[in-house]
Amino acid sequence: MKTRCNQLSAMLTKLGSIVGALALSAALLLASSRPGHGTYEVNVYKAYPSTFWILVSVALSLGFMSMFGEIFSMHSPYGWVYGVLLIVSVNTLILSLPCLRDYAFTNQWDDVVHFSLATNIVQYGQPDSQNFYPTSHLLATAFSQITGLDLQVVISLFPMLFYLVYLASTAFVAWSMDTRSEVRALTMALASPLVFHTYSTTFRPTYFSVCMFPLVVGWIYRTRFQRLRWLDSVPFVFLLIFLPFFHPWSVISAIGITLAFGITFALEPTKRLRSDSSMFLTPVVIIGITWWTWFTAFRVFGTTLRRLVLSFGSALEGTHSLAGYLSKAQQAELQLSRVLSLVVYTYGLTVLYLGLAGLVIIWTFVQVVIRRRWVPAHLLALSSFIVTFTAIAVLSLFRDLVTANPLRISNFAVASVPVLVGALFYDFLSDHRAVGTAIARKHLFRKILLVVLVSTSILGVFVAHYSPLIGQPNHQFSYAQQAGITFLFEKAATDDKNIYTPFKGAFTLSSVLGSEDLRQLRQESPRWWIKAAPAHFGYEPDELGIEFENPGYLWVTAHENAYYTEVWPEGGRFTPQDFERLEIDPHWHRIYTSGDLTIWRRYNDE
Amino acid sequence: MNDQSTDTKESELTTAHRKSRNHYGDLFLLIGLCLSLTLLVYSTRSSLLRVIAGGLCIFFAPGYVLLAALYPDHRSISQGQRLSASVGISVVISSLLYLAAAYSLGITPHSSLGIVVAWILAMGLVAGLRRYRTPRPARPVLRPSTTPTPRQKQEPLSKWLRLGQIAAILVLGVTVGRLVWISSHTAPQFTEFYLLGSKGLAGGYPNHTQVGHPITVTIGIVHHGKNPQSYDLLYRIDNEDYVLAKSVVLDDGEQWESEVEIYPLETPERQKIVFDLHKAGQEFPYDTLHLWVDGSE
């Protein structure tokens, strides 16, 4: 009877994966029937009909069901690979949407800035003199030169490629830490959803550092637990030397996890590992010295240090501070339900994953502190790392901490979750040594975990791109917008009059100039530090445009327009009426439009 | 449980090893990939094949050959670890190579390709030599397990389902190819419409009018899109339309620019001159621009 059930379950698992692949194929057919035209779209999730998104969700759900079926009944040792490939294919499609829909860049800020830094390498053969994290730009440039792809396309493709790097890195840890195929499979199932929010779609070295983080964990584990010869540690040494050039946060996270392992070894009660705890000093010294030598040579070191001290000393709040959020919510007079939905869509995935880690952390705490039982060292090390990084992320809601966004830090903790929980969850959920009601209970918990993973994965798809769902219009930077910036750069009158835009637009010019050239241009003419236009374009009841200081040009992008007229029509710095008044304001000539960018010239300048 | 699993793997590896005649296939494959990429770079502008080969040469091969050189036998690193670590280590190696190149040779299309190909060839050679010195049974064999499980033998339906999975993957591959092909054959579609003042710059626009004298302005259109487009150009003062240009047909990236004369109304008021761009056959303007001018005294 049991064998019969097993056979049926094996067949259903395979059938599910086939249907999942066909659902994804149907979604792809729908996507190819509606190609993008490269012009700005406020919401990428409305670019395709709801059938497309249903098919995507079905494919994801069946991928996870197929994986779970294979993991917990083990019909064949690597039968789960089909499920994970299905999930990864869906996610790759979602991450490739900007390329498939002909976006110039996925993001209005990061992508263009990093494009400019990479352009500098194309132009001058080496990174900008102030570029303190050049490796991702070097990689992008070389990738573009070797493959023949346009550098802009490469910038849009890299987040997707690093998602694959993250999966491979997690697989390396999973393969290093456990020999059971089921545990490896569960770890991969936990790693596959898009849990890094919009970071998954943007060219950000911080995100790339997150993707490389499991590799650091894997090599620490491999070199320190398996007592390899010095020659076998060579890749680890290369990794340590590489991190300081990647991003400062990759250094901080690597030092954090190395120290966590070192302290765990030092505290080990049986003294089995204690003698090895000093081995962790070597990696810290290598990475510390390389980083110090490299990073202190840049001006940004001083400013970062000052900002960090200030953030504690004089309560400098970050751009994503909690107080800032609350004040925005008050200004826009948001309903509680909208505030809650924004919180869920913005932080839901992180909270859910850290919640899963929390279960293991509590279990570890109970074992070590209450029951006085030692747990595997990597559980303790990863738990303490996750707690520390989560605490820093929470702290950054109240202090600047040079983080810009709490998710930037919590993503490192989230990247550790699959490795932390994979083995323990499998031991808890598998039928081995379980009898009677325990089996039924385990089956129920499996179903709960499956539902959690499917929901996470579907939610991950819908928060991977900026959209009104998370209170932002699409951050797409279109070719039409880029054409407008080029026009202004080439045709602007040579005077010292300022250039304005509703958002502070200093980044935007990076879409057409290499970083070194841009710096030189701004030294010659500070007007190219594009200024933020006064609130409501300075309109008062009886006067027009009085708050502009020496105005020359004003540009409005489709993204800015959508932000203030469609997503936040109330409570923002501009209202839809302000944009209408601009059209009839006799102080501004409307001199250029590309559909996605409109340029105005001040009347009284001639 | 773990010991049993390790034993099974050992026996699988030995079986695979016996079956394998070529112990250097993986290294030859990567070296072949390098050489093919070199040919592709100098013979094609950009192609899917070049993208795949280039991607593997940056994101997989540098790490793989390093690991192959460092771990010439299968006992020190498992097949799964070797393959998965190759990706991350390749990012590390490629980055360090390009970093070194950036501050010495400089990054150019030749150095980008040359440095990574040189690394793969050099490490591939070292890996080959070290593998040659390794006893044959200890050499790594990259080959999936082909030993069928007893249950697979018993279930004929399972074979059909496996075939179904393969068929579904093929269908998926075809649809992916179709989507990539369609997306690579689309182009951004938009139109730039602009006004220039004196000296052909976006400044020096006429501010005042004089009775009986026209104002002069340069007007331009740039078309972006795969298909040619015909445009009509009008200007409007006080709800009265005047034709500036008819049926201007532009191809992708083509620009039309012309200096035009406008006759504003003879009024002391500040007046708005609106320029309407129409796409052929469309009643409403595709886009508009406007200038403000002070009237004649």
CB-neighbour burial class of residue A495 (10 A; exposed 0-12, middle 13-18, buried 19+): middle
The residue assigned the tokens 């009841």 is: A541
> How far apart, in whole angstroms, are the C-alpha atoms of residue A450 and residue A446?
6
Indicate the residue of B54, B89, B161 with minimum beta-carbon distance to A15: B161
pLDDT band at A271 (very low <50, low <70, confident <90, very high): low
> How far apart, in whole angstroms, are the C-alpha atoms of residue A254 and residue B92?
14
Cα dihedral A10→A14→A16→A20 (10° resolution) = 160
Three-state SS letters, A536-572: HHHCCCCCCCCCCCCEEEEEEEHHHHHHHHHHCCCCC
Residues of B in Cβ contact (< 8 Å) with A606: 197, 203-205, 207
Listed by number, the residues of chain B in 97-116 with a beta carbon closer than 8 Å to a beta carbon of chain A are: 98-99, 102-103, 105-109, 112-113, 116
Residues of A in Cβ contact (< 8 Å) with B189: 37-39
A601–B96 C-beta distance less than 8 A: no
> How far apart, in whole angstroms, are the C-alpha atoms of residue A186 and residue B258?
66
> How far apart, in whole angstroms, are the C-alpha atoms of residue B247 and residue B227?
15
DSSP character string of A209-272: HHHHHHHHHHHHHHHHHTT--GGGGHHHHHHHHHHHHH-HHHHHHHHHHHHHHHHHHHH-TTST
Residues of A in Cβ contact (< 8 Å) with B99: 134-135, 138, 245
Q: Out of A6-15, A240-249, A416-425, B190-199, pick the least confident.
A: A6-15
> How far apart, in whole angstroms, are the C-alpha atoms of residue A225 and residue A277?
11
Of A140, A132, A73, the residue nearest A446 (C-alpha): A73
Closest residue in chain B to residue A37, using alpha carbons only: B188
Mean pLDDT for chain B overall = 86
Q: Best interface-test mutation with A: which of B48, B95, B104, B292 has the largest number of A CBs within 10 A? A: B95
Over range A257-265, report the average pLDDT. Answer: 90
> How far apart, in whole angstroms, are the C-alpha atoms of residue B224 and residue B239?
30
Q: Minimal Cα–Cα distance from B237 to chain A, Å? A: 14
The residue assigned the tokens 């950009």 is: B46
> Higher model confidence: residue A319 or residue A115?
A115
Burial per residue of B43-54, b for 16 or more beta-carbon CB atoms within 10 angstroms, e otherwise: eeebeeebbebb
Check if B211 contacts A (Cβ < 8 Å): no
Contact B195, B232 (CB under 8 A): no
Contact B265, A568 (CB under 8 A): no
Mention every residue, 6+ apart, whose C-beta is less than 8 A from residue A254.
A213, A216, A240, A243, A283, A287
Residues of B in Cβ contact (< 8 Å) with A589: 195, 205, 290-292
A595–B112 C-beta distance less than 8 A: no
Closest residue in chain A to residue B2, using alpha carbons only: A179
Burial per residue of A572-597, b for 16 or more beta-carbon CB atoms within 10 angstroms, e otherwise: bbbbeebbeebeebbbbbbbbbbbbb
Angstrom CA distances, A312 to A321, A324, A358, A401, A402, stand at: 14, 17, 28, 8, 11
B176–A232 C-beta distance less than 8 A: no
The residue assigned the tokens 């994970």 is: A84
Angstrom CA distances, A222 to A227, A236, B241, stand at: 8, 9, 77
A179–B88 C-beta distance less than 8 A: no
Contact A575, A569 (CB under 8 A): yes
A592–B89 C-beta distance less than 8 A: no
Q: Minimal Cα–Cα distance from B60 to chain A, Å? A: 10
**Which tokens in the block code for residue B13?**
């590896």
**End-to-end CA gap in chain A:** 91
Check if B145 contacts A (Cβ < 8 Å): yes
Checking if the pLDDT of A543 tops 90, the result is no
Mean pLDDT for chain A overall = 89
A147–B85 C-beta distance less than 8 A: no
E strand or H helix that includes residue A592:
strand A588-593
B202–A487 C-beta distance less than 8 A: yes
Over range A354-371, report the average pLDDT. Answer: 93
B205–A18 C-beta distance less than 8 A: no
Q: Is A24 helix (H, G, I), strand (E, B) or coil?
A: helix
Q: Minimal Cα–Cα distance from A598 to chain B, Å? A: 9
Residues of B in Cβ contact (< 8 Å) with A595: 190-191, 287
Query: For a pLDDT cut of 70, what percent of chain A falls above it?
Result: 91
CB-neighbour burial class of residue A47 (10 A; exposed 0-12, middle 13-18, buried 19+): middle
Indicate the residue of A99, A234, A592 with minimum beta-carbon distance to B194: A592
Contact A482, A104 (CB under 8 A): yes
Closest residue in chain B to residue A79, using alpha carbons only: B162
Checking if the pLDDT of A304 tops 60, the result is yes
Q: Out of A312-326, A427-441, A514-528, B189-203, pick the least confident.
A: A312-326
A147–B50 C-beta distance less than 8 A: yes
E strand or H helix that includes residue A424:
helix A406-429
B164–A146 C-beta distance less than 8 A: no
Of A286, A278, A281, the residue nearest A236 (C-alpha): A286
Check if B39 contacts A (Cβ < 8 Å): no
E strand or H helix that includes residue A190:
helix A181-191
Over range A458-486, report the average pLDDT. Answer: 95
Q: Is B51 helix (H, G, I), strand (E, B) or coil?
A: helix
Q: Minimal Cα–Cα distance from A167 to chain B, Å? A: 8
A139–B58 C-beta distance less than 8 A: yes
Residues of A in Cβ contact (< 8 Å) with B157: 11
Closest residue in chain A to residue B103, using alpha carbons only: A126
**Which tokens in the block code for residue A168?**
């491979």
Is this prediction's ipTM beyond 0.90? yes
Of A542, A548, A536, A528, the residue nearest A488 (C-alpha): A528
**What pLDDT does residue B1 have?**
38
Q: What's the pLDDT tens digit per position in B115-143?
A: 999 999 999 999 999 999 988 888 787 66
Q: Minimal Cα–Cα distance from B297 to chain A, Å? A: 18
Q: What's the pLDDT tens digit per position in B77-88?
A: 888 999 999 999
Q: What's the pLDDT tens digit per position in A182-203?
A: 999 999 999 999 999 999 999 9
**What pLDDT does residue B267 have?**
78
B145–A148 C-beta distance less than 8 A: no
Residues of A in Cβ contact (< 8 Å) with B201: 491-494
Listed by number, the residues of chain B in 70-89 with a beta carbon closer than 8 Å to a beta carbon of chain A are: 70-71, 76, 78, 80-81, 83-89
Checking if the pLDDT of A2 tops 80, the result is no
Q: Best interface-test mutation with B: which of A34, A93, A162, A172 has the largest number of B CBs within 10 A? A: A172
Indicate the residue of A29, A39, A147 with minimum beta-carbon distance to B190: A39
**Which tokens in the block code for residue A513?**
């100039």
Closest residue in chain B to residue A174, using alpha carbons only: B81
DSSP character string of A152-166: HHHHHHHHHHHHHHH
**What pLDDT does residue A374 have?**
83
B179–A31 C-beta distance less than 8 A: yes
Over range A510-536, report the average pLDDT. Answer: 92
Indicate the residue of B99, B107, B186 with minimum beta-carbon distance to A35: B186
Highest mean pLDDT among A273-287, A293-307, B196-210: B196-210
Listed by number, the residues of chain B in 188-207 with a beta carbon closer than 8 Å to a beta carbon of chain A are: 188-197, 200-205, 207
Q: Best interface-test mutation with B: which of A7, A18, A67 has the largest number of B CBs within 10 A? A: A18
Q: Minimal Cα–Cα distance from A402 to chain B, Å? A: 25
> Higher model confidence: residue A227 or residue A64?
A64
Of B218, B207, B212, B213, the residue nearest B258 (C-alpha): B218
Mention every residue, 6+ apart, whose C-beta is less than 8 A from residue A177.
A221, A378, A419, A423
**Which tokens in the block code for residue B30?**
């990567």
Task: State CA A512 to chain mean position distance.
Answer: 25
**End-to-end CA gap in chain B:** 99
Over range A45-59, report the average pLDDT. Answer: 96
Q: Is B148 helix (H, G, I), strand (E, B) or coil?
A: coil
B179–A32 C-beta distance less than 8 A: yes
**Which tokens in the block code for residue A291?**
């980083």
Mention every residue, 6+ apart, whose C-beta is less than 8 A from residue B104.
none
A-B contacts (CB, under 8 Å): 319
**Which tokens in the block code for residue A238?**
């290369």
Closest residue in chain A to residue B204, using alpha carbons only: A606
Count of other CB atoms within 10 angstroms of residue A4: 8
**What pLDDT does residue B151 have?**
47
**What pLDDT does residue A24 have?**
95
Contact B215, B264 (CB under 8 A): yes
> How far apart, in whole angstroms, are the C-alpha atoms of residue B87 and residue B81?
10
> How far apart, in whole angstroms, are the C-alpha atoms of residue A580 and residue A113?
31
Mention every residue, 6+ apart, whose C-beta is less than 8 A from residue B250.
B221, B222, B223, B228, B229, B230, B231, B256
Q: Minimal Cα–Cα distance from A212 to chain B, Å? A: 7
B67–A171 C-beta distance less than 8 A: no
Q: What's the pLDDT tens digit per position in B232-284?
A: 999 999 888 999 999 999 999 999 999 999 988 877 788 899 999 999 888 89
**Which tokens in the block code for residue A595?**
């559909």
**Which tokens in the block code for residue B248?**
């201007």
Q: What are phi and psi of A591, to 5 degrees?
A: -110, -15
Three-state SS letters, A35-83: CCCCCCCCCHHHCCCHHHHHHHHHHHHHHHHHHHHHHHHCCCCCCHHHH
Contact A538, A546 (CB under 8 A): yes
**Which tokens in the block code for residue B148?**
């069928």
Check if B134 contacts A (Cβ < 8 Å): no
Q: Is A439 helix (H, G, I), strand (E, B) or coil?
A: helix
Q: What's the pLDDT tens digit per position in B3-57?
A: 444 445 555 555 555 555 578 889 999 999 999 999 999 998 878 899 999 999 9
Q: Minimal Cα–Cα distance from B21 to chain A, Å? A: 25
